[in-house]
């Protein structure tokens, strides 16, 4: 099933090739003098960073291979542009747009009402963007349509970014959105006992966190919304993360290279701390545990779907590391240990070898929400 949520390494390769071309460094990619100014060192450097450009797999990147690789990438880019245009043309207007579910300007949601005389299940979309960008408008129209056709209402949410709040508070924005829609279940004609969440990248990790975190309902809260449950029926995670306790990433995913950091204080700033010492304090350890999905998984948690489109190879850049298939495998291992139902889909040989079982995201969500597709409405 197509998704615009996956961070695609091919896209990164295309960007780098284009940058090299624009800089005049690798002339092998275009023009009548293709390859004329490309030196062996330049090509070898490019091959080292992006082995996919070696089309015949002989370990040597030739000017002709670089040219062919760019042509393929350009063709894929054109296809994606056409698909994006089709999505725009097929966009579905929400029944209720920009509904405020919290006090911040980004605490808003779009709600798509399924036609039904009875309360409907609900699928919630949480967008990606590394907690620094993204928008609820990125919800795939095809998935919205599948839900509505099956009598499932759909909701897409925005949430605060890192410049607004630390990760532990951003995650609670999503929890509040779940509580808000439960509090207004009658108004929106939804079944509060059948709510699923999915997303890609940051939206995937947030969905996983919602699924495995202890219920945040506070029966004594002055705000009636906060008295509602945050628990989900199931969740879907596309190219997401296994945990937001990033101190665990080295052991679970592998070493994080210094050149991948966006700032010297990136890790402790992620949690709103000003120093590494604060992160190591009792308060810091408590927040890390609160954000650690691996540590939060317990036998009573709902079914989890995870997929990764990146091959299980040594990461060569930040995007590969943050979205590596080892995130899926780490959650799978924990779910197997606790008895939580898990379905995973990995790219390439891992899926072929049966490391994880193939499944369709929407079929997974529908199955656990107790929904049947209407006749003739097959999955994408």
The DSSP result for 211-241, as a single string, is: HHSPP---TT-SSGGGGS----SEEEEES--
The pLDDT, as a whole number, for residue 38 is 59
Closest CA to 290 of 376, 150, 170, 375: 170
344 bridge partner residues: 306
- Cβ-in-10-Å burial (0-12, 13-18, 19+) of 75 comes to exposed
Lowest-confidence range among 74-78, 141-145, 146-150, 343-347? 74-78
Q: In 3-state terms, the chain is what percent helix, strand and coil (to 5)? A: 45, 15, 45
Q: What's the order of all strands across the beta sheet hosting 153-157?
A: 96-100, 108-112, 153-157, 120-126, 190-200, 234-238, 304-308, 342-346
Answer whether residue 28 shows pLDDT above 60: no
CB 197 within 8 A of CB 126: yes
* Three-class secondary structure of residue 273 per DSSP: coil
Per-residue model confidence as pLDDT tens digits over 309-336 = 999 899 999 999 999 999 999 999 999 9
Residue 39 C-alpha from the chain's centroid: 38
What is the average pLDDT score of the chain?
86
Q: What is the mean pLDDT of residues 361-373?
A: 96
Answer whether residue 1 shows pLDDT above 50: no
- CA-to-CA distance for 86 and 33, rounded, in angstroms? 36
Instruction: Please give the CATH topology (third level) of the domain spanning 96-369.
Output: Rossmann fold (3.40.50)
Residues in the chain: 380
Answer whether residue 61 shows pLDDT above 70: yes
Q: Work out the pLDDT band at 362, boundaries 50, 70, 90.
A: very high
Alpha helices in the chain (DSSP H): 9-22, 40-49, 63-89, 141-149, 167-183, 185-188, 202-212, 249-252, 266-270, 276-279, 282-290, 293-296, 318-322, 325-338, 349-352, 361-369
Answer whether residue 240 shows pLDDT above 80: yes
- CA-to-CA distance for 317 and 241, rounded, in angstroms? 16
Per-residue model confidence as pLDDT tens digits over 32-59 = 333 345 577 777 777 766 676 777 767 7
Domain ranges within the chain, ordered by starting residue: 9-89, 96-369
- Indicate the angle between helix axes 63-89 and 9-22, nearest 10 degrees: 120
């Amino acid at each position: 099933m197509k998704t615009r949520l996956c961070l695609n390494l091919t896209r990164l390769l295309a960007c780098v090739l284009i940058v090299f071309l624009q800089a005049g460094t690798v002339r092998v990619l275009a023009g009548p003098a293709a390859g004329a100014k490309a030196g062996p060192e330049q090509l070898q450097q490019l091959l080292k960073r992006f082995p996919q450009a070696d089309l015949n797999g002989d370990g040597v990147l030739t000017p002709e291979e670089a040219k062919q690789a760019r042509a393929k990438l350009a063709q894929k880019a054109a296809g994606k542009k056409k698909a994006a245009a089709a999505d725009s043309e097929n966009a579905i207007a929400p029944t209720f747009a920009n509904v405020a579910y919290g006090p911040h300007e980004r605490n808003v949601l779009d709600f798509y009402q399924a036609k039904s005389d009875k309360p409907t299940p609900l699928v919630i979309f949480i967008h990606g963007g590394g907690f620094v960008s993204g928008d609820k408008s990125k919800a795939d129209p095809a998935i919205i349509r599948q839900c509505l056709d099956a009598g499932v209402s759909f909701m897409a949410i925005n949430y605060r970014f890192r410049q607004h709040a630390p990760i532990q508070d951003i995650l609670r924005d999503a929890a509040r959105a779940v509580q808000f829609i439960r509090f207004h279940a009658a108004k929106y004609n939804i079944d509060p006992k059948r709510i699923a969440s999915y997303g890609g990248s940051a939206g995937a990790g947030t969905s996983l966190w919602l699924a495995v975190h202890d219920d945040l309902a506070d029966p004594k809260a002055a705000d009636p919304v906060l008295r509602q449950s945050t628990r989900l029926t199931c969740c879907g995670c596309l190219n997401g993360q296994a945990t937001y306790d990033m101190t665990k990433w080295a052991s679970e995913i592998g070493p994080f290279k210094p050149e991948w950091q966006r700032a010297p204080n990136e890790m402790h700033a992620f949690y709103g701390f000003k120093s590494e010492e604060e992160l190591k304090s009792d308060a810091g350890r408590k927040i890390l545990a609160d954000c650690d999905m691996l540590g939060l998984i317990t036998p009573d948690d709902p079914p989890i779907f995870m997929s990764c489109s990146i091959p299980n190879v040594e990461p060569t850049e930040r995007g590969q590391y943050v979205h590596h298939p080892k995130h899926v495998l780490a959650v799978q291992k924990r779910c197997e240990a606790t008895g939580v139902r898990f379905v995973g889909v990995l790219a390439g040989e891992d899926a072929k070898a049966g490391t994880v079982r193939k499944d369709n995201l929407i079929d997974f969500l529908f199955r656990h929400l107790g929904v049947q597709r209407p006749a003739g409405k097959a999955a994408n």
